[in-house]
Structure 1
Amino acid sequence: MNIKLLKTKEDAMKYEEIRKESLQQNPEAFGATYREHISRPNPAERIYGRFQEEGNYTYGMFNENDELVGVCTLLRQSNIKENHKAHIFAMYVTPSARKASIGKLLLQEAIAKAKEIGIVKIMLSVVTSNVPAIKLYESLGFQSYGIEVKALKDENNQYWDENHMVLFL
């Protein structure tokens, strides 16, 4: 297993595949739907563009076959009054690679980067039904600071609550 910062067009193409998988496997966990995602033009190009943005650190875990099996994005706030904060977005580990501490390793990499660049606090949101993820975040020191009721709603009018969490560095 190998973690790397995703930056290349090839990385973006691999990320695009795991992103589609994540939206199909765990649609409740993400703000975008699979249908929305695939309807946008040039998704890999858009992803590549995001990889190049200042303050965007997207990490990928690759297995021994160079397959991308997990991702995690640390996104630093860009405006002056908030650039001491960052968010964790699009955290996902493919089902076949779960229970191998990949999520923890990716988060530890993102946290180390946050410390390196002077971030004071990292925030994230997780659906309240995703107990394994919440336990992972808590094991790394994240604390809940609120529950947002009906934070997400799908095309079938099903709602999910989100647990907003923070880690002070």
Structure 2
Amino acid sequence: MPDIEIRQLKKDDVAAFKAIRLEALEMEPAAYASSVEEWVSLSDDEWASRLHMPVFVAFKSGEPVGVMGLLRQKASKMKHRSTLIMVYLRDSARGQGLAESLIDAVARFAAESGVLQIELNVSSENGRAIRFYERNGFRAIGLIPAGMIQDGAEVDEVIMARRLT
């Protein structure tokens, strides 16, 4: 893809991280456990500290258009597992294979880091996202009843996993 770059962010990439994360929270508030209000007031140092986990961003013509983060389990018996978080791709960047490229970069990094399984939670009401994850090797493995409360309504979350072996 011309003018496309996918890379792991570093501490000096706070501006790009901030731009795409706040856009995600504003455009798709029902998709995330956090709200834009929780993130908008963070200092640049707090934003930078959140980049300690691997955060990957897709850039199109130098502008951030997508993001995915990977939260690794710390307990010794669970270090083989990571959770995919902060998944977002701008509407205008969808349907071009960019989301697949982004998730492939995350999975490649995870596998190279010794991760054997990536897990995620997704709203049971987000059929488009569930189908995307299924096309990319994830399988539903459970359900969290009332996993989130959005605008006063309980929303179930589907637990999905992808083995990397």
* Fold shared, TM-score > 0.5 on shorter chain: yes
Structure 1 CA distance for aligned equivalents of residues 99 and 42 of structure 2: 29
Shift of residue 123 of structure 1? 0.3
User: Which residue, 156, 159, 165 being the options, matches 1:164?
Assistant: 159
Structure 1 CA distance for aligned equivalents of residues 63 and 130 of structure 2: 26
**Which secondary structure state, in structure 2, belongs to the residue aligned with residue 78 of structure 1?**
coil
Gaps of 5+ in 1: none
CA RMSD for the aligned pairs?
1.4
TM-score (norm 1): 0.89
**Counterpart for residue 95 of structure 2:** 99
Structure 2 CA distance for aligned equivalents of residues 68 and 136 of structure 1: 20
Structure 2 CA distance for aligned equivalents of residues 120 and 57 of structure 1: 16
The one-letter amino acid of 2:46's match is R
Percent identity reads 29
Gaps of 5+ in 2: none
**Counterpart for residue 10 of structure 2:** 7
Q: List structure 1 segments (4+ residues) > 6 angstroms apart after TM superposition.
A: none
**Counterpart for residue 23 of structure 1:** 25
Shift of residue 21 of structure 1? 1.3
**Counterpart for residue 83 of structure 1:** 79
Structure 1 CA distance for aligned equivalents of residues 42 and 94 of structure 2: 31
Contact 1:28 1:160 survives alignment (8 Å) = no
Query: How many pairs does the alignment contain?
Result: 161
**Which secondary structure state, in structure 2, belongs to the residue aligned with residue 41 of structure 1?**
coil
Shift of residue 159 of structure 1? 2.5
Structure 2 CA distance for aligned equivalents of residues 129 and 117 of structure 1: 32
**Counterpart for residue 122 of structure 1:** 118
